Amino acid sequence: MDNELLGRINELKRERNAIILAHNYQLGEIQDIADLVGDSLELSRSASRSDADVVVFCGVYFMAETASILCPDKVVLFPNLDAGCPLADMITAESLREEKEKHPDRTVVCYVNSPAEVKAESDICCTSANAIKVVESIPEGREIIFVPDYNLGHYVATRTGRKLKLWPGYCPSHIRIKAEDILREKEVHRGARVMVHPECVGEVIALADEVLSTSGMLQYALASDEREIIVGTEIGIIYRLRKENPKKMFIPASEQAICPTMKLITLEDVLWALEDMAPEVRVSEEVRIRARASVDRMLEIV
Ligand code: 13P
Q: Is 122 in the pocket of ligand 1 (CB under 6 A)?
A: no
Domains, the chain, ordered by start: 2-85+262-284 (3.40.50.10800), 88-170 (3.40.50.10800), 174-258 (3.40.50.10800)
Q: Is the pLDDT of residue 22 over 70?
A: yes
> What pLDDT is stored for residue 160 in this prediction?
98
Which residues lie below 8 Å from residue 171, measured CB to CB, with a gap of 6+? 86, 87, 113, 149, 151, 199, 259
Ligand 1, atom 3, lies closest to the CA of 213
Q: What is the mean pLDDT of residues 207-232?
A: 97
For residue range 33-73, list pLDDT tens digits in order. Answer: 999 999 998 998 899 899 999 999 999 999 999 999 999 99
Distance 235 CA to ligand 1 centre (A): 12
Model pTM score: 0.97
CB 199 near ligand 1, within 6 Å? yes
CB atoms within 10 A of CB 178: 17
**Residue 135 Cα to ligand 1 middle (Å):** 18
pLDDT for 1 equals 52
Cβ within 8 Å of residue 131, ≥6 positions away: 109, 111, 152, 155, 156, 198
C-alpha of residue 33 to centroid of ligand 1, in Å: 20
pLDDT for position 41: 87
Indicate which residue's Cα is closest to atom 1 of ligand 1.
Answer: 39
What's the 213 CA to ligand 1 centre distance in angstroms? Answer: 6
Kindly list the strands in the beta sheet with 54-58, ordered across the sheet, starting from the edge strand earlier in the chain.
36-38, 18-23, 54-58, 75-77
Edge-to-edge strands, sheet with 228-232: 210-211, 193-196, 228-232, 249-252
128 CA from centroid of ligand 1 (Å): 6
- Does the beta carbon of 235 lie inside 6 Å of ligand 1? no
**In the predicted model, is pLDDT for residue 120 greater than 90?**
yes
pLDDT digits (tens, 9 = 90+) for 254-265: 999 999 999 999
Probe target for ligand 1 pocket from 21, 26, 113, with the most ligand atoms within 8 Å of CB: 113
Q: Determine the average pLDDT of the residues in 233-253.
A: 98
* pLDDT score for 258: 98
Per-chain mean pLDDT for the chain: 97
- The residue nearest atom 8 of ligand 1, judged by CA position, is 113
CA of 1 to the centre of ligand 1 (A): 32
Does ligand 1 come within 6 angstroms of the Cβ of 26?
no
pLDDT for position 45: 87
List, for residues 163-172, the tens digit of each pLDDT value: 999 999 999 9
Residue 298 pLDDT > 90, yes or no?
A: yes
